[in-house]
Amino acid sequence: MRATAAEKPQSGGLVLLCLASWAIPGVGHLWLGRRAKGLILLFALPLMFALGLAIHGRLFPFDRSDLLVGLAALADVGIGLTYFVAAVLGFGAGDVRAVTYEYGNAFLIVAGLLNLLVVIDAYDVAMGRK
């Protein structure tokens, strides 16, 4: 069911929705009343990020001299507050010698990128496109 012009949320509310959805994966869907989807995302995306850290993945630094490292850092930040909590607690140093290092990096990057897609999905739901 599409929202009419009167039912569409104000732009300030959309910004707040998107920020909340980025900061804590799944919160945007919970806010919009999509409880099952929101709870799954609230559990699955941070778990994926935690698994990436557990198997020696690296939280990439923002390095302007290496484009791919900078892009990986942006992807890592896509998971929201979880990234900052992990960084402050000293997780994500990575261990290049670990067999699982590249898999850990992939988990961290994909978790962030998936969360950015979740933000877009929450926006589309709020706009009545889904």
Inside any domain, residue 78: yes
Inside any domain, residue 3: no
Does residue 11 have a pLDDT over 90? no
Residue 104's pLDDT is 98
Inside any domain, residue 4: no
Domain hosting residue 68, numbered range: 11-126
Inside any domain, residue 94: yes
Q: Which residues pair with 6 in a beta bridge?
A: none
What is the SS3 assignment for 18-65? HHHHHHCCCHHHHHCCCHHHHHHHHHHHHHHHHHHHHCCCECCCCCCC
Does residue 6 have a pLDDT over 60? no
Inside any domain, residue 5: no
Inside any domain, residue 110: yes
Inside any domain, residue 85: yes
Q: How many domains are contained in the chain?
A: 1
Each residue's pLDDT tens digit, 25-61: 999 999 999 999 999 999 999 999 999 999 999 999 9
